[in-house]
Amino acid sequence: MQPNHDFSNDSNAIISSQYHCTIHKNLNSSGLCNICEQSFCEKCLKNFENLNFCPSHSLLFVENNWLEITSVKTSPDQPEEGTYIYKLKSRLWEELKIPTYIITHYKINMDNDFIESFIKLYVIKKDVPIVESELKKHKENQ
């Protein structure tokens, strides 16, 4: 079904019109949960520290001590360097149900005139040993 309105200049509206809330199927999605990556509406998503969480994961985020477990710097010449973090996050959640989230920081490199990105994976403190082991296995299989 095609929307009646032309959303060509509004990328958020395009995303919202294509995805619906996981809980409220009749409402458009306003974003993804940073842990489970499912779509949720504005009513469901809770924002903490500029991160979005669904009803099931908002308390998990607030009630736990999260630690950075790995980080990678990417550049325009090597944008694929960070893909292993996204693949690992997905595998940890889908196969082991270990919650993690990713934060990307951007920095303008004035000397070389390009933008660097720093992709960081965070995990609950109690899960660090398991995730470190999985990270090692994941890197070995690359």
pLDDT tens-digit series, residues 58-108:
999 999 999 999 999 887 777 787 888 999 999 999 999 999 999 998 888
Q: pLDDT tens for residues 17-71?
A: 578 999 999 999 999 999 999 999 999 999 998 999 999 999 999 999 999 999 9
Residue 123 phi, psi (nearest 5): -140, 155
Which phi and psi (to 5°) does residue 117 adopt? -120, 145
CATH number of 64-140: 3.30.70
Res. 142 pLDDT band, cuts 50 70 90: low
The model's pTM is: 0.80
| Structure letter (DSSP) for residue 76 | T
- Parse the chain into domains and list their residue ranges: 11-57, 64-140
